[in-house]
Amino acid sequence: MFSTTDTVIHPLGAATKEREPAEYVWPAAGLTEVPDWIYTSQVIYDREVERIFHGRTWNYVALEAEIPKANDFVRSWIGPTPVVVARDADGSIHVFENRCAHRGVEFCRHSRGNNAEFVCPYHQWSYDMRGNLQGVPFRRGMKGEADSGMPRDFNPAQHGLRKMNVATRHGVVFASFAADMEPLEAYLGEEITHDFDVLFKGRQLRILGYYRNELPGNWKLYHENLKDPYHATLLHSFLVTFGLMVAGSKSAMIADPSGRHGTMASAKPADVTKVVDASTASQMRAYRTDLKLEDPRFIDFVPEFESPWTVTMQTIWPNLIVQRELNTLGVRQIVPNGPNSMIMNWTMFGFDTDTEEMTRHRLRQGNLMGPAGFLGLEDNEAIKFLQEGVRRSPTDIGILKLGGTTEGTATTLVTESAIRSMYRHYREVMGL
């Protein structure tokens, strides 16, 4: 689908982890072990697209603030499948496949725009903003010519674009291939909905811009990364040194009852040196007392939410990350791109009530996140290294033993409990 550059060389003699379908059997140890083939196998990837992204899930597709007016649209994805998110004249939002019902052309090529109809460039079939087929050139054929045009019984109503189920909550648009999905709130669960609402409820978003990157790793690794508070306190000097998330501070790794969603939450202490004692500091190489900022504005926190947490990173299964990192806010859409790659679509925003200075504060703080962010780039590198490790080595098991065999919400950062919960759900859906 997409590819940037070959950042990973195919090594000679790489150990293939493809196997016969019946041989994809989860290790007997259960959730404390993860087989490498869930990250590398095309068979597993294809099953994920079918059962997860095209299955009973609500997938993030857009923010309403991107399509405020009638006839606005954005190009988006559900899993790897291209869709269009469009606002009709009556204000309603519609999501349909970006694939002409005639020959399959991916007709919408602009990231965003405004038009009253979509016209496939190949044969000019036209669709309204709800995805209904409006016009077929020469449908009745050329006058006086036999066997010309569509058959008499061709019914345009049966040849519209494939339409998705749509749900919105406080300006965030989700879509599903499943027509009979439970309500979004039930899908998210009470706790995840609560932290989601803290950010979005009663706000008008102002879009600040976009980033896009290809991450050479399996899409599940991004969920794991944000359900893995252990790495947060070890890998990221900026999190640890400035107390944004550090062992010893008030924090939680919240999992919903189904195990698929999560919120990694932390409260920034007033003085990080008060919560990090010598013993804790000695185990965190990333805790760098030499790291002093000449311009500390970008780690300032301006209170603006009703929440005990200064940071919440939400993983909403299967394709959404909601970032509330101090005052830098955004959503990330995961577009799986084969087993070894994913595309991240970042949309950064503030609120329409922001002052000029607040907007600039968010932009400055944006240096923490994104593909050049002090936190973001380290995660991208780590995920890439992991993918290369599981692709290249004949060893085929990773372990998830932090916190024993616990699952679900944890109040310690030194645990893999929420990752185990996610894989319990995953195994059920995938039949693994």
Interface residues toward another protein, by CB under 8 A? 2, 4-9, 111, 207-216, 235, 237-238, 241, 286, 288, 290-291, 293-295, 298, 343, 348, 359-360, 363-364, 366-367, 370-372, 374, 376-378, 380-382, 384-385
Do the Cβ atoms of 272 and 316 come closer than 8 Å? no
Rounded Cα gap, residues 149 and 142, in angstroms: 7
> For the stretch 55-64, what's the b/e string if a residue is b when 16 or more beta carbons lie within 10 angstroms of its beta carbon?
bebbbbbbbb
Please tell me what DSSP assigns to residue 74. Answer: E
Rounded Cα gap, residues 251 and 272, in angstroms: 13
Tokens standing for residue 300: 């300032």
Q: Please, what is the end-to-end C-alpha distance for the chain in angstroms? A: 27
Closest distance of CB 224 from another protein, Å: 17
Shortest CA distance to 424 belongs to which of 390, 403, 400, 391? 400
> How distant, in Å, are the alpha carbons of 117, 123, 173, 225, 425 from that of 263?
39, 47, 19, 12, 16
Identify which of residues 40 and 421 has a Cβ nearer to another protein in the complex: 40
Identify which of residues 295 and 306 has a Cβ nearer to another protein in the complex: 295
Identify which of residues 203 and 420 has a Cβ nearer to another protein in the complex: 203
Identify which of residues 138 and 385 has a Cβ nearer to another protein in the complex: 385
Identify which of residues 6 and 23 has a Cβ nearer to another protein in the complex: 6
Closest distance of CB 110 from another protein, Å: 10
Closest distance of CB 191 from another protein, Å: 30
Closest distance of CB 364 from another protein, Å: 6
Closest distance of CB 416 from another protein, Å: 20
Identify which of residues 113 and 121 has a Cβ nearer to another protein in the complex: 113
Q: Which residue has the tokens 């999905």?
A: 181
Identify which of residues 190 and 381 has a Cβ nearer to another protein in the complex: 381
Closest distance of CB 292 from another protein, Å: 8
- DSSP codes, 91-148: S-EEEEESS-TTT------SSEEE-S-EE-TTT--EE-TTS-EEE-TTTT-STT-TT-
Closest distance of CB 10 from another protein, Å: 11
Closest distance of CB 69 from another protein, Å: 15
Tokens standing for residue 84: 């269009």
Gyration radius of the chain over CA positions: 23
Which residue(s) pair with 63 in the sheet? 172
Identify which of residues 89 and 302 has a Cβ nearer to another protein in the complex: 302
Closest distance of CB 87 from another protein, Å: 18
- DSSP codes, 40-57: H-HHHHHHHIIIIITTS-
Closest distance of CB 119 from another protein, Å: 23
Identify which of residues 281 and 429 has a Cβ nearer to another protein in the complex: 281
Measured in residues, the chain has a length of 432
Rounded Cα gap, residues 119 and 107, in angstroms: 7
Closest distance of CB 86 from another protein, Å: 19
- DSSP codes, 161-221: PPBPEEEEETTEEEEES-TTPPPHHHHH-HHHHHHHHHHHTT--EEEEEEEEEEESS-THH
Rounded Cα gap, residues 232 and 253, in angstroms: 11
Identify which of residues 158 and 289 has a Cβ nearer to another protein in the complex: 289
Rounded Cα gap, residues 372 and 380, in angstroms: 10
Identify which of residues 116 and 372 has a Cβ nearer to another protein in the complex: 372
Helix (H, G, I), strand (E, B) or coil at 375: coil
